[in-house]
Amino acid sequence: MLVAALKHQKAFELLEMQDKKFVEELNKGRGVPSIQDWDYAKSVLPFLEMFYDATLRISGSSYVTSNLYMKEVFALGRRIQQYRDDDDLSISLMASKMKAKYNKYWGNAKTINMLLLIAVVLDPGHKLDYVELCLVNSFGVEVGGELKAKLSSCLHSLYNLYQGADEGNQDDTLSQPSPSDKAKDIYDMGLYRRSTGRKSNLKSELDRYLNEDCESDDKPLDILGWWKVNSNRFSVLANMARDILAIQVSTVASESAFSMEGRIIDQYRSSLTPKMVEALVCTEDWLKGDFFSSLAPENFEELEKVEQDLILSEDITCSVGPVSIALEDD
């Protein structure tokens, strides 16, 4: 709306001179926009566009977002710092308040979620070097280096956990060896290494993945498609990527982040039980996704029926519990 208003600044100025009712209506509030107001809007517009664009990118509900947030979030922190040093006092104060809120979630290196950092490492276009670059630029060389070491340790621990589960699944699927196979076991080099404690010099999937060149950023990368194609080379990492990249970075879909309509509770929902309201609020935005405004109204009778069934099942469970205990005592 601010973009559209700035495009029609001249029109508003002409309307102010020609339409007295327009001026009278605006004077009931804060009055007609002054030259200073227009200048302030122009100066703050790039700041607000930065937040809007970042929200659209990392709050999507139909694509992977856990590998995209780092560039947006850390760039926001740097821009906020730049605006905090602005000569305009009003912009500087606004940026200072935003910086305090930003630091609450992203300013403390000790509270950063390692799983979110691992998600960026699993992006073949970024990997570990990119994460290190962002951490060093944001927290300094010393703290950034400590975070990288912690990330590397967590990454290898998680990889070993998935590798153990993958090897267990493979062992379950192996058939019993035949007598001829048992006779060959004494000449098996892998068996010899395991019995003597010697390990192969082959690099792990994780090391091979990290040592390979990053994918080109000339065109958008389908990260899920990439892992699907390369799952034969990186079977363990593909399983990790499947689970970790499914994490949504934002708890609110971008379709609702700048809309008040999705937060209005109608007469039907205001009569629901707290448990049902909690379930609906937590899932509605993501279920509706991009077609948020095009959905038909919910079938409230069906929702009420489901709610009644849940309440009935809870009542039955509570009533059956004491009876079963009494029977056991007899």
Q: Write down the pLDDT at residue 328.
A: 44
Of 283, 293, 287, the C-alpha closest to 258 is 293
Q: Which domain holds residue 267?
A: 261-323
**Residue 249, token pair as written in the block:** 């970075």
Is 22 inside a domain boundary?
Answer: no
Q: How many domains does the chain have?
A: 2
Residues 94, 209 within the same domain: yes
First to last CA, the chain: 73
Q: Write down the pLDDT at residue 202.
A: 65
Q: Write down the pLDDT at residue 154.
A: 93
Is 148 inside a domain boundary?
Answer: yes
Residues 132, 49 within the same domain: yes
Residues 141, 85 within the same domain: yes
Residues 237, 280 within the same domain: no
Is 111 inside a domain boundary?
Answer: yes
Of 262, 270, 259, 220, the C-alpha closest to 63 is 220
Taking the C-alpha atoms of residue 7 and residue 126, their distance in angstroms, rounded to an integer, is 39
Q: Write down the pLDDT at residue 124.
A: 92
Residues 57, 143 within the same domain: yes
Residues 135, 230 within the same domain: yes
Residues 268, 162 within the same domain: no
Q: Tell me what percent of the chain is helix, strand and coil, each rounded to the nearest 5.
A: 75, 0, 25
Residues 83, 226 within the same domain: yes
Is 232 inside a domain boundary?
Answer: yes
Residues 165, 267 within the same domain: no
Under DSSP, the state recorded for 310 is: H
Residues 163, 278 within the same domain: no
Inter-residue contact 77 to 138 (CB < 8 Å): yes
Is 51 inside a domain boundary?
Answer: yes
Is 291 inside a domain boundary?
Answer: yes
Residues 228, 318 within the same domain: no
Taking the C-alpha atoms of residue 300 and residue 187, their distance in angstroms, rounded to an integer, is 70
Name the stretches of the chain with pLDDT < 70. 61, 166-202, 251-272, 282, 284-304, 307, 311, 313-330
Is 116 inside a domain boundary?
Answer: yes
Q: Write down the pLDDT at residue 161.
A: 92
pTM of the predicted protein model: 0.63
Is 100 inside a domain boundary?
Answer: yes
Residues 141, 48 within the same domain: yes
